[in-house]
Structure 1
Amino acid sequence: MYEDEVLATHRQEVRRGTVVLACLLTLAQPNYGYALLESLERAGFPVDANTLYPLLRRLEKQGLLSSEWNTDEARPRKFYATSPDGAALAELLYRDWVDIDRSLRTLKGTT
């Protein structure tokens, strides 16, 4: 069997390509960063905060997310939501993921 470190590295590589899609899909409903971390964790996409927050800023800069500060509570929170461009990209990436899944199942012989 593979060493834990080797397995962890390869798992990280596979997940790295899916975090953007997971964020875009999850943020179809607006949410703030920490709650997004928890939602992703519950869905099986554990992401480190040091990875997520720069990703959110990058996606926002690319126009794939919009954001708005909520100052109604004692602690202001920045809420993110998938923009229309982000939703369109999520749909394309999701279709790509389905195609990749289908191809891998074919290679494994489990179609």
Structure 2
Amino acid sequence: MVPIEDDLFEKLRVELRRGSLVIAVLGALREERYGYTLRQSLEQAGLPIEESALYPLLRRLESQGLLTSEWREEAKRNKRFYRLSPEGVETLAQLLAEWNAISESILRLTEREM
């Protein structure tokens, strides 16, 4: 087996993670969090994400109607808290079903190869 180049692997890894992070963020926001605690939660689960990627993703998911947010003061600082919207709950369930189907298919395909 010929190893792939590191830069090619990195590009493919980033592409794979991008879709995975949407599901992870939606799943983590089943309970209300603000950006920093969301980042911590993702990192503890093994999915670190930079602020420069997280906040645009949160804005996009909110504009798509999958999240709601509100500004509140906590510890004398204004923080924006995010949570799944009802549409987000439904979409997360659909995405998880699709994720599981894809994962099972990939496992069936790759088990034969190894």
Give the structure-2-normalised TM-score: 0.90
Work out the number of aligned pairs and report it: 110
Which residue in 1 is equivalent to 2:87? 85
Which residue in 2 is equivalent to 1:102? 104
2:71 to 69, 76, 79: 69
CA distance in 1, matches of 2:6, 2:34: 33
CA distance in 1, matches of 2:62, 2:110: 37
Query: Which sections of structure 2, spanning at least 5 residues, go unmatched?
Result: none
- Alignment-mate amino acid for residue 22 of structure 1: A
CA distance in 1, matches of 2:4, 2:37: 34
Which residue in 1 is equivalent to 2:51? 49
CA distance in 1, matches of 2:49, 2:43: 7
Residue identity (%): 44
Q: Which of 98-107 and 40-49 deviates more?
A: 40-49
Give the structure-1-normalised TM-score: 0.92
CA distance in 1, matches of 2:17, 2:74: 35
Runs of 4+ with >6 A deviation: none
CA distance in 1, matches of 2:17, 2:36: 19
Q: Which of 69-78 and 29-38 deviates more?
A: 69-78
Which residue in 1 is equivalent to 2:7? 5
Q: CA RMSD in A?
A: 1.3
Q: Which has the larger radius of gyration?
A: 2
Query: Which sections of structure 1, spanning at least 5 residues, go unmatched?
Result: none
CA distance in 2, matches of 1:5, 1:103: 27
